[in-house]
Structure 1
Amino acid sequence: MRLAASSALLLACLFSFVCALSIGAVQVDFYDVWLALWSYDNTQLAQKIVIELRLPRTVLAFLAGAGLATAGLILQTVTRNPLADPYLFGISSGASFGVVLLLTLFGMQSALAMSGAALIGSVCAMCLLLLIAYHKGTAQIENMLLAGVALSFLFNAFTSLLLYWSDPQAVTAIIFWSLGSFSRADWMWMWLPAVVVLSGIMTVVCFRRHLNALLLGDESAVTLGVNVHRLRLGMLLVSSLITAVLVAACGGVGFVGLMIPHIVRFFISQARVLGMIVTALSGGLLMLWVDVLARIIIENQELPIGVITAAIGSVFFLSLLMFRKRAANI
């Protein structure tokens, strides 16, 4: 049953990928998409749209969804908090602040420089989070989410201050980027998010037994021979790296890391390799259709990705809180 469901999910991802290449302001037939993928002819306008415009953004959308879902799974596991998310933990806000600081002060827009700035910002946010949450050498897990929300507001305030002092013409481009978009996708730097996301997924799979031990509690994990502090710090850095690179590539996209692990957890255990892979595939599947919605929901305009994910994620977050409240009252 699990294998059949996983196969169905994989087929859904492939079908959605083809749909994402076909649907847009200019409708492209599935046959033309097939021809573009297997025998590209740059003299054909439809094939040129598929390969040069839609294919890189579709690949980036899938990588972003898979990476953010994996980052959310990491945070929820190492903190044992089902509400953990890169967006709520301030990691995404810290990465956004680093990129905005780079753009406003130096005007550098290369993918590598933006990824480095985002990584520095996210690591700073994570260091502040650990500094607040750690007390006498142990992590106060219950305080991490509250500290993350506070840091998120702090970095957002700094970002707004930078935008207030910036050139008005640059502010529009920065704000559109910060709301999330896959329109900047380019084959020249696509290798960076691909390597980081795939490496992050492989790291989670390789350390799955250590992470499963961590779910039992710090004391139980120590008795099983797990170095809890080193594992938690390492996984937090992996989550920060994934988030930073994706924020630099497509801006701030929130709530994906919160929703997907919860949805997958209803159907399959994420303690297994299959559950971790399904989480990544489900995140990619969600972002493929979010990108399609962003392109077609308003005619001749592109809606920011972050607006759609924030709307969906907010409803999911409130529903999750209500569900937990009702479960506690039973």
Structure 2
Amino acid sequence: MMQPNRRRSAELPGRADPLRTTPRTSSSLITAVLVVALPLVVVTSASIGTIEVSFVEAAKIIIGHLVPGMPWMSDGSLTSVQDDAVWRFRLPRTLLAILTGAALALAGSLMQAVVHNPLAEPYVLGVSAGAGVGAVSFIVLGLGVGGPGISVAAFVGALVATAAVYMLAGKSGRIAPARLILAGVALGSFLGAITSYLTVSTDAQNVYSIMFFLLGSVSAATMDQLVAPTVALVVVGLLAAFRARALNALLVGDEAAASLGVDVDRLRRVVLVSAALLTGAVVAVSGGIGFVGLVVPHVSRIVIGSDHRRMLPAAVLAGAVFLALCDLAARTVAQPTEVPLGVLTAIVGAPFFLWLLRRDGADAVGLDR
């Protein structure tokens, strides 16, 4: 009796099981832990700062704004200073960090699936470099260093970079994965050089703002800035959930996926464009934050397995928790100075990724193939 396609593809000579999974109970437990950890991290982050607010008080303030009529919001037990510190300053930046981490983890997971390259991540396409050129140009032209203007400029730069890399990667009407990676690296280097030139040629007072954006930060986050990343994450997340089985088919190769009825070229094009635009949406408001889209998907595959139906939700939650914790560390480890998020993610991510390479589970993410 013929075995299912997934079983046969897993037994191909020289190929590790492309759909290696942990038991459903274990993966569900891990996902549940991440779901519980996320609100705990939010409240913890909202309670820590120069203005003293306890964990319980921070939780009360957040609940009081979400559910009108709570008695503790008007009985004098909470001060207006505490309310502003939690709701206007700490919570928006924590939520933006969560959205950014989740978006970068999802984008990295999708890119690695369709490009067949374990080192693929959002910044390989040069999207962040394009956003950097847009933001730096906005600052250099004297149009300001904050507000929605710089976010719009960064997003436009990301869109231009996305369009350019896909034009360069096209071959006979198809997107070649290897060509896409090479085009992204080359374009990213070119745009990075433009950014460097703009940085050294501008006035000295602009350099700090430029460098802080390029290294990544959510310190100036507002509730209004959460709208675009949230919409982008929901749309791309639904697309990923809908196409999870097709992404699983890609793990066994393009030919095998095509034999299962998957339009490989169309799927690759839609997924890559979606991942790039998702990256652009968060880079526009958070700046350049690396390593999240590289490390988190790999860790998720090692812990959860390669089945995208289980791995993608875990990666999104893990990316959110990871970057929220990094933001908490960024504003506390060197007080009163704030460390750029991109610096912390590199410090944490690089050694951790090198440690993963030494483990037996490295072949689970395709690093030993």
The corresponding residue for 2:50 is: 25
| Matching residue of 1:247 | 283
Alpha-carbon distance in structure 1 between the residues aligned to 2:292 and 2:37:
18
Please list the CA deviations of residues 136-169 of structure 1 after superposition, one character each: whole Å capped at 9, or x if unmatched: 4444433443443332222111101112222222
Tell me which moved more, 235-244 or 61-70.
235-244
Residues in 2 aligned to 1:56 and 1:245: alpha-carbon distance in whole angstroms: 16
Unaligned runs of at least 5 residues, structure 1 = none
Cα displacement string for residues 244-266 of structure 1 (whole angstroms, at most 9, x for unaligned residues): 11111111000100011000101
Shift of 1:113: 4.4
Work out which of the two has the higher radius of gyration on C-alpha atoms and give 1 or 2. 2
2:333 pairs with 274, 294, 297, which one?
A: 297
| Residue 110 to residue 74, structure 1, CA distance change in 2 (3 Å) | same
Which of these residues, 209, 214, 228, is aligned with residue 264 of structure 2? 228
CA contact (8 A) 2:125 2:276 kept: no
Alignment of 1:80-119 (within 5 A): 80-105=116-141, 107=143, 113-119=149-155
Instruction: Determine the C-alpha separation between the residues in 1 that align with 2:96 and 2:252.
Output: 35
**1:60 CA displacement:** 0.5
TM-score calculated relative to the size of structure 1: 0.90
- Range moving further from structure 2, 51-60 or 100-109: 100-109
> Does structure 1 retain, via aligned residues, the 8 Å contact 2:114–2:268?
yes
For the 8 Å contact 1:35–1:47, the answer to whether it is kept is no
After superposition, the Cα gap between the structure-2 partners of 1:61 and 1:208, relative to the gap in structure 1 and judged at 3 Å, is: same
1:275 is the counterpart of 2:300:
no
For 2:50, the aligned partner's letter is A
Deviation (angstroms), 1:134: 3.7
TM-superposed CA distance for 1:272, in Å, is: 3.8
Q: Which moved more, 1:109-118 or 1:306-315?
A: 109-118
What percentage of aligned pairs have identical amino acids?
36
Instruction: Say if 1:102 and 1:224 are closer, same or farther in 2 by CA, change over 3 A.
Output: farther
Tell me if the contact between 1:62 and 1:287 (Cα under 8 Å) persists in the aligned partners.
yes
Cα deviation, residue 106, structure 1: 6.1
User: Which position in structure 2 is the counterpart of 1:5?
Assistant: 30
Cα RMSD (Å) of the superposition? 2.6
Aligned to 1:38: 63
Going from structure 1 to structure 2, the CA distance change for 1:265 and 1:111 (only over 3 Å counts) comes to farther
Query: Structure 1 pair 308/100, CA: closer, same or farther in 2 (3 Å)?
Result: same
Name the count of aligned residue pairs.
Answer: 330
Shift of residue 93, structure 1, vs aligned partner: 1.4
Contact 1:111 1:189 in 2 (8 A): no
Kept in 2: contact 1:57–1:183 (CA 8 A): yes
Q: State which of 294, 297, 302 in structure 2 corresponds to 1:266.
A: 302
Matches within 5 A, 1:147-296: 147-296=183-332
Alignment-mate amino acid for residue 58 of structure 1: T
Q: For 1:315 and 1:129, how far apart are their aligned partners in 2?
A: 30
TM-score, length of structure 2 as denominator length:
0.81
Task: Give yes or no for contact 1:119–1:240 (8 Å, CA) kept in 2.
Answer: no
